[in-house]
């Protein structure tokens, strides 16, 4: 039975669309940013021969917890602006090998390329998020401009940044009630930052890397892109507010309580001054 054309696969089309949007918004300049998308074996099997391994690529990480799992991943050194023109050059579909130390390339990177250098950080985050939410499928990293800027000018704690973002747009507490976790500057691509991000991912779907960018996770592309764009919009509003002379009034914690009740969410109590109404 012949396979369907891989470029028509919904997961390839989603990767093309989201990378194009991230570049359009200026959040993924040059080869900044990366995405990993966990796929089901049956959906990959509609398009590829699962026994046809193009190459085996080593990882500096023990991914045994994900052995046999499939991902479509942006490539190392690849520009998001070029994904739509040539998906097979800039994307790859991989399977974590049984030894957990390598990945098997099934499609893509046709110039001899490899997955993003932050693959270990992504896989660590997938492992952490799957423990919290078995339906988690996406980990997305980008350099959202105003969020990045806030790490230079704002008190650099998870509580302080979360509260400011919540206060800038009413929808923020509803969209990410668990808040945003913040990391100090760490070397990108290292296992250290991967481990630190994964630990924070157990508490939140958004992790802000100081002076670098943001990580988002969730069940699908819309959820993760929406998380990041909502936080980024709030950071943009904060930038305008600062330029207009600073905050003079804001949403109160009592109003956050009412908002939480209205929309049936439970805000992180560590980030509120008063108790949360269940």
Instruction: Residue 160: name the closest of 179, 145, 134, 146 by CA.
Output: 179
* 143 marked ligand binding residue: yes
Q: Please enumerate in sequence order all residues whose Cβ is within 8 A of that of 10, keeping only pairs 6 or more positions apart, or say none.
A: none
Q: What is the CA radius of gyration of the chain?
A: 19
Q: Kindly state the tokens that stand for 189.
A: 């691509």
Residue with tokens 């690529």: 57
| Known catalytic membership, residue 135 | no
* 126 marked ligand binding residue: no
Residue with tokens 């509803």: 174
* 141 marked ligand binding residue: yes
Decide if 177 contacts 267 (C-beta within 8 A).
yes
Q: Which segments within 40-84 are labelled E, that is strand?
A: 55-58, 70-74
Which residue of the set 118, 135, 236, 270 is catalytic? 118
d(CA 214, CA 227): 11
Decide if 59 contacts 239 (C-beta within 8 A).
no
DSSP state of 156: -
Q: 181 φ, ψ to 5°?
A: -95, 140
Decide if 49 contacts 3 (C-beta within 8 A).
yes
Binding residues for Zn(2+): 141, 143, 212
Catalytic residues: 118
């Amino acid at each position: 039975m012949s396979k369907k054309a891989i470029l028509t696969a919904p997961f390839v089309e989603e990767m093309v669309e989201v990378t194009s949007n991230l570049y359009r918004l200026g959040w993924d300049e040059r080869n900044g940013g990366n995405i990993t998308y966990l796929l089901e074996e049956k959906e990959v099997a509609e398009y590829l021969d699962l026994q046809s391994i193009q190459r085996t690529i080593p990882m500096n990480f023990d991914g045994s917890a994900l052995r046999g799992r499939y991902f479509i991943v942006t490539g190392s050194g690849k520009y998001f602006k070029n994904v739509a023109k040539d998906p097979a050059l800039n994307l790859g579909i991989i399977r974590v090998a049984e030894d957990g130390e390598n990945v098997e390339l099934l499609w893509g990177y046709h110039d001899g390329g490899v997955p993003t250098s932050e693959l270990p950080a992504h896989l660590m985050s997938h492992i952490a998020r799957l423990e919290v939410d078995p339906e988690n499928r996406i980990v997305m990293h980008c350099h959202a401009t105003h969020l990045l800027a806030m790490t230079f000018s704002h008190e650099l704690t998870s509580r302080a940044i979360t509260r400011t973002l919540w206060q800038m747009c009413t929808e923020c507490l509803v969209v990410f009630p668990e808040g945003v976790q913040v990391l100090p500057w760490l070397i990108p691509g290292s296992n250290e930052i991967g481990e630190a991000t994964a630990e924070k991912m157990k508490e939140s779907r958004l992790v802000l890397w100081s002076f670098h960018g943001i990580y988002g996770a969730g069940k699908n592309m819309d959820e993760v892109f929406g998380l990041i764009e909502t936080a980024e919009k709030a950071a943009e509003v904060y930038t305008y507010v600062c330029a207009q002379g600073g905050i003079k009034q804001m949403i109160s914690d009592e109003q956050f309580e009412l908002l939480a009740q209205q929309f049936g969410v439970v805000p992180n109590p560590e980030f509120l001054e008063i108790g949360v109404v269940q």
